[in-house]
């Protein structure tokens, strides 16, 4: 069901990072590496726009004989991958070059960095567009393998530790998800009988209501815990703060903004199938409980942080938790709020890590107490940090305020799913509001202390304009803009995706 | 099948699965790292034999490919990588254990029971030939998971991860006569790359910490 232009767009989507990854190993000189990188990511974004348009006009599409399946939900995720990827690529132009110039890394290692970066992009795109749940699993495990060396890229003791922890914890989590996939296949084989396509989403969706609920329940628990490790839900989150602190800033932005989102997407995909055979309250309850616990615990951890990168890491756990609550409540508002929150969080968190990267390079420390007077030392980064911080604290006029409000509205109107809360209980809302207040206080307290004050004497003030500032300004503008008005095509896309998520 | 009646076939598959589980207990009880690697290789051989048996009894050809890959990758290549790592690192034994051997074995016994309990409601839906293997597969996954937590050496953790993968593979073969071939190839590729990466890590960890004891990996704290 795909015409020629979409087939070309899908091939470009997959080929761009693959070719650029291959070129990264061959090219010499940072200039050409960046050219290859930006060309590839530009192609990726263009292909995504074409695909999104076709999805809006004609609904879901398949390509290459049902190997690729794209609907509105995958288009939203592709949109996030493209946007954050583009922002990171622009930022890397100045960030990586400075690291080479300062002699932190040998110029040769830049090739490895870009190779891994492209493979990371490729695996995420494959995970998003794969029709088979099995292929999706393979791609998500591959994201672990490609990112672990990116996290350990500086090769310090701490970064090696963070990379190893990430590799082991995520691989184990993902193995559990594979058991879930096997069970899913087990249940679908009994209905479909066809060996090769019984894991395809297109096939599963048609027969979902006939699948056995016992097997599906067990499968979903394994899938949820497995991919939930990758999302960083409490209590499977312990790799996350270390990885975000040690990874180079653009990598941290990609991990926080995109990788988590892709993992959430994998869970949502499976949920769409499970919900048709099992009462939706079952999956909704898992989403809501894990989401709420992650949200609440992370909010308190934000208060305790003394390292600004860890601060943002815990804020990631918090916002992912909130998005999960939104998906758990379900319905048009809950699902839309959850999706919109994923997008906004991706944008705000990349902005935060770009600012953090700039600060780290100048101050050479990640301690909050040793960073003061950013307004005089790095005025642009100070502004970026302030915008990111206020946005992550969900203040108006930033987009996260809009999405958080939607989730809280959904919670107020329909309450948490499942039997353990009576209809009309205010308890979850009170918890949610209180914890967001705690997170708000924690973020603002830490960030204001960094932005204002007197700068340490040994730090050279002044910020030179670079390419790295372009994505900072763009992201800041978009974050404010999305609060007031979503561009109509995006609005339609999000609404179409939210409709897909509503369980029948 | 003319050669074997389904009952004998299913009993043989059960025997193969049971042998896999037995090697799991061996790995948990063993302190010498190189012996752990040997046991893992042995387990992979049992896995390949079980898979071949299933392929023979059902006549599904692509399971043969998976069985052959199991022999090559999990019984030959990966054990070699791990042996090289152990040789280079000069660590032969798991010295400090969070949980000692008898207690570990006891816990593993409980895990097996839990696995049978969880899979009880869904086992009757399976194929007649291999349905008991699903419970054993889950038991192996859980034991691998436990070993990962209970042991400290990077090499042991890697073996535990591979044991989990073996359990998953048994589960896939038992419950569904294998996954689609593309998926199976992808999983093999991932496992192989994971083993290579872990090998590189142990080298770097050795250089940075003079040890591969993951207890030293405690610099990142709140």
pLDDT at A157: 87
**Does the pLDDT of residue A449 top 80, yes or no?**
yes
Give B 27-56 residues with CB within 8 A of chain A.
none
pLDDT at B2: 46
Q: Record the tokens describing residue A487, joined without a space.
A: 């561009």
What's the length of chain B? 222
**Does the pLDDT of residue A318 top 50, yes or no?**
yes
Put simply, the answer to whether B220 touches A158 (Cβ < 8 Å) is: yes
Taking CA atoms, A187 is separated from A181, A190, A468, B170, in Å, by: 10, 6, 50, 17
How many angstroms away from the CA of B4 is the closest CA of chain A?
24
**Does the pLDDT of residue A345 top 90, yes or no?**
yes
Provide the 8-state DSSP code for A70: E
Which of A109, A115, A126, A178 would you mutate first to test chain B, the one with the most B CBs within 10 A?
A178
- What ipTM describes this predicted complex? 0.89
pLDDT category of residue A137 using cuts at 50, 70 and 90:
very high
Measured CA to CA, the distance from residue A277 to residue A272 in angstroms comes to 10
How many angstroms away from the CA of A201 is the closest CA of chain B?
14
pLDDT at B126: 64
Put simply, the answer to whether A242 touches B220 (Cβ < 8 Å) is: yes
Q: Record the tokens describing residue A251, joined without a space.
A: 């990598």
Most confident stretch, B9-18, B134-143, B152-161: B134-143
User: Positive or negative CA dihedral for A417, A423, A428, A429?
Assistant: positive
Residue pLDDT, tens place only, A68-120: 999 999 999 999 999 999 999 999 998 998 888 888 888 888 999 999 999 99
Provide the 8-state DSSP code for A199: T
Put simply, the answer to whether A142 touches B209 (Cβ < 8 Å) is: no
Chain B residue with minimum CA distance to A215: B122
The contacts of residue B201 (CB under 8 Å, 6+ apart) are A148, A152, A160, A163, A164, A167, B154
Residue pLDDT, tens place only, A468-495: 899 999 999 999 898 888 899 999 999 9
Measured CA to CA, the distance from residue B86 to residue A214 in angstroms comes to 44
Q: Is residue A337 within 8 Å of residue A406, measured between CB atoms?
A: yes
pLDDT at A420: 61
User: Positive or negative CA dihedral for A216, A222, A227, A229?
Assistant: positive
A-chain CB neighbours of B181 within 8 Å are 196
Measured CA to CA, the distance from residue B101 to residue B103 in angstroms comes to 6
Share of chain A above pLDDT 90, in %: 67
Q: Average the pLDDT over B212-216 and give the result.
A: 66
How many angstroms away from the CA of A104 is the closest CA of chain B?
17
Q: Record the tokens describing residue B180, joined without a space.
A: 């689609």
Strand partners, A61: A70
Q: What DSSP line would sit under A270-332, residue for residue?
A: HHHHHHHHS-HHHHHHHHHHHHHHHHHHHHHHHHH--BHHHHHHHHHHHHHHHHHHHHHH-HH
> A25-62 burial, b if ≥16 CB within 10 A, otherwise e?
eebeebeebbebbbebbebbbebbbbbbbbbeeeebbb
Put simply, the answer to whether A158 touches B60 (Cβ < 8 Å) is: no
The whole-model pTM stands at: 0.93
Spatial CA neighbour of A392 closest among A404, A380, A382 = A404
Residue pLDDT, tens place only, A94-104: 899 888 888 88
C-alpha A176, offset from chain centre: 21
**Does the pLDDT of residue A194 top 70, yes or no?**
no
Q: Average the pLDDT over A185-208 and give the result.
A: 84
Q: Average the pLDDT over B36-60 and give the result.
A: 92
* Stretch (H or E) spanning A100: helix A72-101
Spatial CA neighbour of A182 closest among A163, A199, A166 = A199
Return the minimum-mean-pLDDT range out of A134-148, A156-170, B167-181.
Answer: B167-181
Measured CA to CA, the distance from residue B15 to residue B9 in angstroms comes to 10
How many angstroms away from the CA of A193 is the closest CA of chain B?
10
pLDDT category of residue A421 using cuts at 50, 70 and 90:
low
Put simply, the answer to whether A134 touches B126 (Cβ < 8 Å) is: no
How many angstroms away from the CA of B220 is the closest CA of chain A?
7
Mean pLDDT for chain A overall: 91
Put simply, the answer to whether B179 touches A185 (Cβ < 8 Å) is: yes
Q: What DSSP line would sit under A319-365, residue for residue?
A: HHHHHHHHHHH-HHHHHHHHHHHHHHHHHHHHHHHHHHHHHHHHH--
| Residue with token string 């699903």 | B134
Q: Average the pLDDT over B90-95 and give the result.
A: 69
Burial category of B5 from C-beta neighbours within 10 Å (exposed 0-12, middle 13-18, buried 19 and up): exposed
Tell me the angle at which helices A280-304 and A308-329 cross, rounded to the nearest 10 degrees: 160
Q: Average the pLDDT over A132-141 and give the result.
A: 95
Chain B residue with minimum CA distance to A139: B186
Spatial CA neighbour of B17 closest among B213, B176, B186, B169 = B169
Share of chain A above pLDDT 70, in %: 98
**Does the pLDDT of residue B132 top 80, yes or no?**
no
Measured CA to CA, the distance from residue B107 to residue B98 in angstroms comes to 13
| Residue with token string 């790799």 | A239
Measured CA to CA, the distance from residue A127 to residue A106 in angstroms comes to 32
Q: Average the pLDDT over A133-146 and give the result.
A: 95
Measured CA to CA, the distance from residue A33 to residue A53 in angstroms comes to 31
**Does the pLDDT of residue B198 top 70, yes or no?**
yes
pLDDT at A163: 93
Residue B180 near chain A (CB below 8 Å):
yes
B-chain CB neighbours of A245 within 8 Å are 220
Put simply, the answer to whether B217 touches A176 (Cβ < 8 Å) is: no
Residue pLDDT, tens place only, A403-415: 999 999 998 888 7
Provide the 8-state DSSP code for B216: G
- Three-class secondary structure of residue A48 per DSSP: helix
How many angstroms away from the CA of A218 is the closest CA of chain B?
9
- Three-class secondary structure of residue A468 per DSSP: coil
**φ/ψ (deg, to 5) at A158:** -65, -40
Q: What is the CA radius of gyration of chain A?
A: 22
Which of B190, B193, B205 would you mutate first to test chain A, the one with the most A CBs within 10 A?
B190
Share of chain B above pLDDT 90, in %: 38
Put simply, the answer to whether A172 touches B201 (Cβ < 8 Å) is: no
pLDDT category of residue B1 using cuts at 50, 70 and 90:
very low
Q: Average the pLDDT over A176-193 and give the result.
A: 88
pLDDT at B5: 61
pLDDT category of residue B129 using cuts at 50, 70 and 90:
low
Put simply, the answer to whether A195 touches B148 (Cβ < 8 Å) is: no
Residue pLDDT, tens place only, A197-248: 888 898 898 888 889 898 899 999 999 999 999 999 988 898 999 999 999 9
Residue pLDDT, tens place only, A240-255: 999 999 999 999 999 9
- Three-class secondary structure of residue A247 per DSSP: coil
Residue B187 near chain A (CB below 8 Å):
yes
């Amino acid at each position: 069901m795909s015409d020629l232009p979409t087939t070309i767009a899908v091939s470009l989507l997959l080929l761009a990072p693959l070719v650029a990854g291959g070129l990264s190993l061959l090219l010499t000189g940072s200039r050409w590496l960046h050219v290859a990188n930006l060309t590839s990511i530009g192609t990726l974004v263009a292909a995504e726009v074409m695909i999104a348009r076709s999805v809006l006009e004609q609904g879901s599409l398949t390509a290459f004989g049902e190997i690729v399946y794209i609907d509105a939900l995958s288009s939203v995720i592709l949109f996030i991958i493209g946007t954050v990827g583009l922002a990171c690529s622009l930022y890397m132009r100045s960030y990586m070059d400075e690291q080479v110039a300062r002699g932190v890394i040998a110029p040769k290692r830049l090739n490895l960095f870009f190779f891994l970066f492209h493979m990371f992009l490729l695996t995420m795109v494959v995970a998003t567009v794969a029709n088979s749940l099995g292929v999706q699993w393979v791609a998500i495990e591959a994201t672990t393998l490609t990112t672990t060396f990116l996290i350990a890229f500086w090769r310090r003791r701490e970064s090696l530790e963070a990379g190893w922890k990430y590799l082991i914890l995520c691989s184990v989590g993902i193995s559990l998800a594979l058991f879930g996939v096997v069970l899913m296949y087990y249940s679908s084989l009994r209905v479909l009988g066809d060996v090769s396509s019984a894991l395809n989403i297109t096939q599963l969706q048609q027969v979902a209501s006939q699948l056995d609920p016992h097997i599906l329940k067990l499968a979903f628990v394994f899938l949820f815990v497995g991919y939930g490790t990758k999302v960083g839900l409490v209590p499977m989150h312990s790799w996350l703060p270390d990885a975000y602190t040690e990874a180079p800033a653009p990598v941290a932005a990609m991990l926080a903004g995109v990788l988590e989102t892709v993992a959430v997407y994998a869970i949502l995909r499976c949920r769409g199938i499970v919900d048709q055979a099992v009462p939706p309250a079952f999956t909704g309850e898992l989403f809501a409980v894990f989401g709420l616990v992650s949200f609440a615990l992370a909010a308190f951890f934000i208060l305790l942080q003394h390292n600004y990168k860890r601060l943002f890491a815990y804020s990631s756990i918090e916002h992912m938790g909130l998005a999960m609550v939104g998906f758990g409540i379900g319905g048009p508002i809950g699902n839309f709020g959850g999706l919109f929150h994923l997008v906004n969080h991706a944008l705000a968190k990349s902005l935060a890590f770009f600012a953090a990267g700039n600060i780290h390079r100048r101050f050479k420390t990640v301690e909050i107490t040793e960073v003061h007077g950013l307004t005089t030392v790095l005025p642009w980064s100070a502004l970026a940090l302030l915008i990111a911080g206020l946005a992550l604290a969900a203040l108006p006029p930033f987009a996260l305020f809009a999405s958080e409000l939607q989730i809280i509205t959904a919670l107020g109107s329909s309450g948490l799913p499942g039997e353990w809360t009576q209809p009309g209980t205010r308890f979850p809302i009170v918890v949610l509001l209180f914890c967001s207040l705690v997170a708000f206080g924690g973020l603002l307290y830490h960030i204001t202390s960094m932005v204002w004050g007197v700068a340490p004497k040994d730090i050279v003030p002044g910020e030179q304009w670079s390419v790295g500032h372009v994505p900072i300004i763009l992201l800041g503008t978009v974050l404010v803009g999305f609060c007031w008005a979503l561009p109509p095509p995006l609005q339609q896309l999000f609404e179409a995706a939210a409709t897909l998520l509503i369980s029948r | 099948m003319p050669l074997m009646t389904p009952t004998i076939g299913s009993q043989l598959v059960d025997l193969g699965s049971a042998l896999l589980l037995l090697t799991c207990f061996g790995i948990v009880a063993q302190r010498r790292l190189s012996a752990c690697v040997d046991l893992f290789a042995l387990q992979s051989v049992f896995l390949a034999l079980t898979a071949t048996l299933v392929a023979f009894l059902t006549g599904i050809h692509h399971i043969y490919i998976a069985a052959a890959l199991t022999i090559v990758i999990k019984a030959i290549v990966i054990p070699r990588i791990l042996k090289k790592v152990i040789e280079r690192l000069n660590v032969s034994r798991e010295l400090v254990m969070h949980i000692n051997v008898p207690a570990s074995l006891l816990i593993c016994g409980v895990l097996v029971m839990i696995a049978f309990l969880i899979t009880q409601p869904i086992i009757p839906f399976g194929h007649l030939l291999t349905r008991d293997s699903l419970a054993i597969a889950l038991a192996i996954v859980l034991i691998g998971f436990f070993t990962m937590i209970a042991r400290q050496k990077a090499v042991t953790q890697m073996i535990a991860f591979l044991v989990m993968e073996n359990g998953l593979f048994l589960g896939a073969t038992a419950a569904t006569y294998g996954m689609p071939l593309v998926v199976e190839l992808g999983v093999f590729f991932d496992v192989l790359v994971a083993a290579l990466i872990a090998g590189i890590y142990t080298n770097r960890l050795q250089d940075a910490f003079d040890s591969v004891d993951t207890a030293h990996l405690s610099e990142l704290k709140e």
